Amino acid sequence: MGSSKLDRNKPAPVFNCPFESAKLGEAKSLSPHLCVIQQSQKRNVPDLVWRVSQNYQEYTSMNENGKRYIGLDVHKHYLIALGVNENLEVVMPARRVELSNLESWMRKTLTKQDEVVLEMTTNTWQLYDELSEYAGSVTVVHPPHVALITRAQVMTDKIAASILARLLAKGLLVGVWVPPQEVRELRGLVAQRQKMTRLATQAKNRLHAVIQRHHLKPPEGNPFAKKNNSWWESLSLGRLEKMNLQSDLETLQFSEKQESQLQEEMTGIAAENEDIGRLLHIAGFGVITAVTVYAAIGDIRRFEEAKKLVGYAGMGARVHDSGLTTRTGKITKAGRRDLRVALVEAAHVAANSHPYWKAELARLQPRLGYNKAIVAIARKLLVTVWHVLARKVADRFAEPEKISKKMLHIAYEVGKANRAGKSAAQFVRERMDILGLGSELTSIPWGAKKPIPLPPSKLKKESAVPNK
């Protein structure tokens, strides 16, 4: 009968252990094993017995290069992580990680050699910041660009994470631009105002329905003004309908108050941010549109040409090329919806108020129809946005006097405290000089009041200095 003890004169048996050789990446199995490693000749000690831990930290730390491509399938309360090497071999089996324990898992598992990929989701940027502290790189991908996940016949969290990891390892994924914290917060501000606007609109629609249902004649002017609250309260309605009406009135008042506060904050940001100030002089752009467009675009330097910005907004035309036939269709809409909506709204305003864009609408409408003509103008405005931000130039169709009025409105809205102590006129002149416009203006027409005098332009003084 064989002895139960190991024969120290014979090599120790190897049970498919990842630590069996120097080429640890060649291990065939990564499930927990009882690994027997022969003692070193330099050490007169018994054979060492190793048990591979569940997270395989020992294995990954001893791998030839340690480089792993880790796919994360993120859910509401947990994520599934799976890692492969450059040969697409699984080096980190699928593991469920509760988001409440994420920090501990990252600290124990991730290294600066790891490349991590995840799809964009609700809490993407928070995860990105946390993962970036421990991983070498973090790639965020747009879900539609990972079509293989949605097309899989059998789909599990493990398969989704595996596909992400393998696509990343082979360089087949293109990560999205990661906005800095300032842009993230600005996008959140824009989104919150849009929510309040929708909430107010929904409440108004329900109140309008009450008027129509009971054939009522509302007060003159704005029926939802505070002065008309007594009229709403005096209506003879059923108990439940009365409760619903009161709820809608309170919802409307709350949402409009929030909307006003958010807009005030956005106006202050527009007064401080030079790029947003540049956007304000474009025809059809107000504070809300300028802030929305800036937040959606972020760093203009990531768009090498105006065409790429148009594609980012999903405002490029569809193209079908087959044989000798090439057809163009409607816009793709494969881009940021908030950017498209803001530009279409600006196009409506510009086509009704600016001479050039009025003429452009008149030229395009007979051939395209009104709606398509407005979209075409919106696309042209987006090209203007690129030139204004990327090249720091003014719109060639800008009207200095109208722009000075717009800047004066903003100056009054933000108040002197938010103008760095400058007067409203000084604020306007500074903004106009940044744009390189209106150096010839000496005052701003202001309705029935006397024109507001402007300080001399620095551009005018500089241009008067002779060349040496």
Largest CA distance in the chain: 115
Taking alpha carbons only, the member of 290, 329, 335, 281 closest to residue 308 is: 335
Tokens of 112: 């600066």
State how far the Cα of 277 lies from the Cα of 293, in Å rounded to an integer: 12
Residues 6+ apart with CB under 8 A from 214: 235, 237
Domain of residue 303: give its range. Answer: 295-377
In a domain, 458, yes or no: yes
Q: What is the 3-state secondary structure (H, E, C) of 377-411?
A: HHHHHHHHHHHHHHCCCCCCCCCHHHHHHHHHHHH
In a domain, 61, yes or no: no
In a domain, 278, yes or no: no
pLDDT of amino acid 216: 92
Q: Which pLDDT tens digit goes with each residue over 65-102?
A: 579 999 999 999 999 999 999 999 999 999 999 999 99
In a domain, 235, yes or no: yes
- pTM given for the model: 0.77
- Percentages of the chain per state (helix, strand, coil), in multiples of 5: 50, 15, 35
Residue entry with tokens 């300080």: 455
Tokens of 258: 């929030």
User: How many distinct structural domains can be found in the chain?
Assistant: 5
Residue entry with tokens 């439940």: 240
Tokens of 76: 């509401």
In a domain, 17, yes or no: yes
Residue 125 vs residues 48, 140, 191, 278, 280: alpha-carbon distances, Å? 45, 9, 16, 28, 29
User: For the chain, what is the radius of gyration of the CA atoms?
Assistant: 32
Q: Which pLDDT tens digit goes with each residue over 243-297?
A: 999 999 999 999 999 999 999 999 999 999 999 999 999 999 999 999 999 999 9
Q: Are residues 200 and 246 in the same domain?
A: yes
φ, ψ for residue 200 (rounded to 5)?
-65, -40
In a domain, 289, yes or no: no
Q: Are residues 70 and 155 in the same domain?
A: yes
pLDDT of amino acid 416: 77
In a domain, 386, yes or no: no
Tokens of 161: 């994470």
DSSP letter for 302, please.
G
Q: Which pLDDT tens digit goes with each residue over 395-425?
A: 999 999 999 999 999 999 888 777 878 899 9
Q: Which pLDDT tens digit goes with each residue over 1-35?
A: 444 444 444 444 433 443 333 333 343 333 333 33
Q: Which pLDDT tens digit goes with each residue over 188-246?
A: 999 999 999 999 999 999 999 999 999 999 998 899 998 998 999 899 999 999 999 99
